Each structure stands twice: as structure tokens, then as C-alpha cells.
Amino acid sequence: IIDNARFNFLTQKKIHQSVLEIFKHKDKKEFLSYLTQSLPKTFDLEFINIFISDINISKSNNFIYQTSNIIAETYGNKNQLIMDAAEKMNGLFKNFDSKIFSNAIFSLDISIFKSKALLVYGSKDKHFIDNREYDLIYFLSNIVQEKLKQFSYD
């Protein structure tokens, strides 16, 4: 119990520091760079990125393109968070060079990109299998979503 409490405290501290950093970014490119380059290192993840089926938005923002069928199969409902083993994700990671073992997937508000998109956290270990950090990842995902709404993606 003490180890779990210590782990939760350290994760909460990282989340709160990350939220403050997210609020600092006023430029879209800087924010997206922070999201995809710095934030994964903070949480010892393989990646954090947006998966989207709009190839133009994907290319212009360095998001990960995925077919609309795979996005739709995974999307569920707005603001839904799934934490699971990557092998259960219907080919979401089939084009990745590195092996993703577990993931957290947050279904973003359709109004942001005018289509379904996923905020995806990928890990090489079982980071997301036990759902220990569900509330914290859900909170962080909502902060990221609100920040994404501040920018234009046309």
C-alpha cells in the first residue's frame, strides 16, 4: 500500500507539472512538440500522439495517420478512455517500428479536427494494463483536449 501511495504521489506531481507546462504554450507548434516529444519522456512512454484519418491534418501537424475504419472501431464515445494491452487494438499499431505493449487511448471531441481523432499514449511495458492511473490520465487527456481546442487545424 505504501509503495502504491508513493507511486501515485509521484505520478500526480508529474501530471500537475505537465499541466502547468501545457498552459504555458501559446504557439501550436510549440505545444504539439511538447506533447509528442517532451511529455512522453516525462512519463517514460514510447510515444504520445494524435491518431487521425485526415491525411492533410496528420501531415501538417506530425500526427499519426490511420484509416478511418480503425479510428472508428477504436473511438467509442467522446471523452472515453481505454487502457489496455496494445494487441487488442485492431491494428492501431501495426505500422509501428517499435513494439507497443500497452496503451491508453482517449477519444477526442470531434469538433477539434472535424473528424474522429484519438489521443494515444503508448508504452513498451505493461504501464496501462492495471489501470492504476486511470483518473490521472483522464484528467491529463482532458487538459490536452482543451488546449487542442485553442488552435486551428484547417
Neighbours of 98 (CB within 10 A): 10
pLDDT at 12: 87
pLDDT of the residue at 47: 94
Which residues of the chain are modeled with pLDDT < 70? 1, 88-90, 131
Burial of 142 (0-12, 13-18, 19+ CB in 10 A): middle
Three-state secondary-structure class, residue 97: coil
Q: Which pLDDT score, from 0 to 100, does residue 131 have?
A: 65
DSSP bridge pairs for 123: 102
Residue 141: which of 98, 112, 99, 101 has the closest Cα?
112
Q: Tell me which residue of 35, 45, 41 sits closest to 143, measured CA to CA.
A: 35
